[in-house]
Amino acid sequence: MTSNLGFAEVIGDPIIQSKSPAIHNFWLAKLGLAGEYRSTRVTRDGLEDFIAGRRQDPAWRGCNVTMPLKLDAIMLAEEASDRAIAAGAANLLVAKEGKLLAGNTDVGGVLQVLGTRMKQGVPGGITLLGNGGAARAVLVAVRTLGYTGVRIQARDMSAAYKLAVEFGLAIEPSPFDRPIDTEGLINATPLGMVGVEPFTIDISRMPAKGFVFDLVTDPVETPLLKSARERGLAATDGIAMLVEQAAASFMLLFGAQAPRQFDGELVKALRP
């Protein structure tokens, strides 16, 4: 074992569903590193005080950030990565030399999952559900790939229009409950997550060659993904993206490369 590396964590509200501790502690154990990764419930109202307190703890290496804190987290950092700035949201805060650095490893995770498909072209357009921090990371990723054929569907139409303008989208936003008729669908909301009120998305109009990518990871097989598979659509859960963004976060938090040669074992444990 190495000398104690201190601890990192994931924060959000709710947080009990997070699989990040399982991922990071799995890697720490495989590498024989004496560190710890925790989960801590933090509300939006309590975020600033929480971070101020953590910054006084020399054992704290930083934290991943999940909903609903990603838009607020970037405002608390002295410096931010290009991707965090582009997204206007951070899923990672790293304590380094007395400063707090904001990052966004969600963007790279989306690129890893969707990059090949996007490069082949999606002429039928993509619907993006949501307008929060996760949705912004998706938009940065698709813009990186030079794609503008995205339609945002959200409950907050004002925020959706602002995002569409900010990211130069070619398709006008629509209400959240509009039936999906695009080739692709990306869910960047808590819809389908354990504890969230059920809401059925109508995907009956999606073309047979369509695909659905759901960022929710608890449950892994969401109602949306089940519906997609029943229709014969390509369905991708959020585990692959979660592992990709976690690997980038692990390096920044603990200063070591995640041992990706054990991905098979890890993913099997994450997909019950």
Residues with catalytic roles: 70
Which string of b and e fits 25-39 if b means at least 16 CB within 10 Å? ebbbeebebebbbeb
What letter does residue 198 receive in the DSSP assignment? Answer: P
Of 188, 103, 183, 104, the C-alpha closest to 147 is 183
Of 86, 104, 108, 65, the C-alpha closest to 243 is 108
DSSP string, 147-163: ---EEEEES-HHHHHHH
**Which residues make Cβ contacts (< 8 Å) with residue 267, sequence separation at least 6?**
239, 240, 243
* Strand pairing class (92-96; 60-65): antiparallel
Distance CA 151, CA 142 (A): 12
Query: 64: which strand partners?
Result: 10, 92
* Strand pairing class (150-154; 35-41): unpaired
Distance CA 148, CA 171 (A): 8
**Which residues make Cβ contacts (< 8 Å) with residue 188, sequence separation at least 6?**
128, 129, 130, 132, 134, 135, 137, 138, 215
First to last CA, the chain: 30
